[in-house]
Amino acid sequence: MSKSFRLEVITPERLFYSGQAELVIVKTDSGEEGYMADHTWAVKLLQPGQLRIQEEGADRKNMKYAAISEGYIVVEDSIMIFTDAAEWPEEIDLARAERAKMRAESMLQQIRPDDSEHAKLEVALHRAINRIRVKGGGNHLK
C-alpha cells in the first residue's frame, strides 16, 4: 500500500468526491497522467475524459471511474480537481449519450471543417464518447 493523500473533486454544483486516495489518473493536455502523494506542486489544465481514483486500501484493479468535463487540477499536499461537470457511471444515461453522439456525428458530416461550429461539435462528440466509455468501463468492472 502506498502513501495516501486527500483528494477532492469539485464542480460548481456539488462536491463530487472527497476522500483519501493513493492514486488519481486524469487526462491533461499531454495525455493521461497519474498523481500520487508527494508530487511536485503543480497546476494543470484537464481535458474532458476519464477520472480514475484508486482509493486508500483498494488495489489497482478496483479503481473508481468517472466521466469529467474540462477543468483543472491543483496538486499541493492534497489534490483538488475542479471541473465543470462530473458523473459517476451509474449517473450516466447511456441512451442520451448515444443520441448525443449520433447527433454530433451527423452534424459533423454536414458542415465544413473550417466552420466555427466544428470545434464545438467535436468537443460534444468527445464528451459523448467519453461518457459511453465510462459507462461501459464501469459496468465491466462490476
Partner 1 sequence: MAAGNLRDIKRRIKSIDSTAHITNAMKLVSSAKLRRAKATYEKVDKYLYLIQQSIEDVFKKASDIPDEYTKVKAHVNRTCYIIITGNRGLCGGFNSSVIRRALYEMQKEAHEEDREDPVLVTIGLKGKEFFSKRGYDIESEYLSPPEDISFVGTQAGSKPIVDMYREDKIDKIVLIYNRYVDSFRQEVSVKTLLPFVYAQAESETKTERKYIEYEPSMEEVLNYLIPKYVEVMIYGAMIESATSEHAARRMAMENASESAKDMIAQLNLSFNQARQAAITNEISEVVRGSEALK
Point out which residues bind partner 1 (CB under 8 A): 10-15, 28-30, 40-45, 69, 72, 74-76, 80, 82, 84-85
Min dist CB 70 to partner 1, Å, is 8
Q: Which helix (H) or strand (E) holds 139?
A: helix 116-141
Q: Which residues of 79-88 are buried (b: 16+ CB within 10 A; e: fewer)?
A: bebbbebbbb
Min dist CB 29 to partner 1, Å, is 5
Min dist CB 64 to partner 1, Å, is 20
Q: By CB neighbour count within 10 A (0-12 exposed, 13-18 middle, 19+ buried), where does 112 fall?
A: exposed
DSSP state of 120: H
Min dist CB 40 to partner 1, Å, is 5
Helices within 10-115 (DSSP H only):
94-110
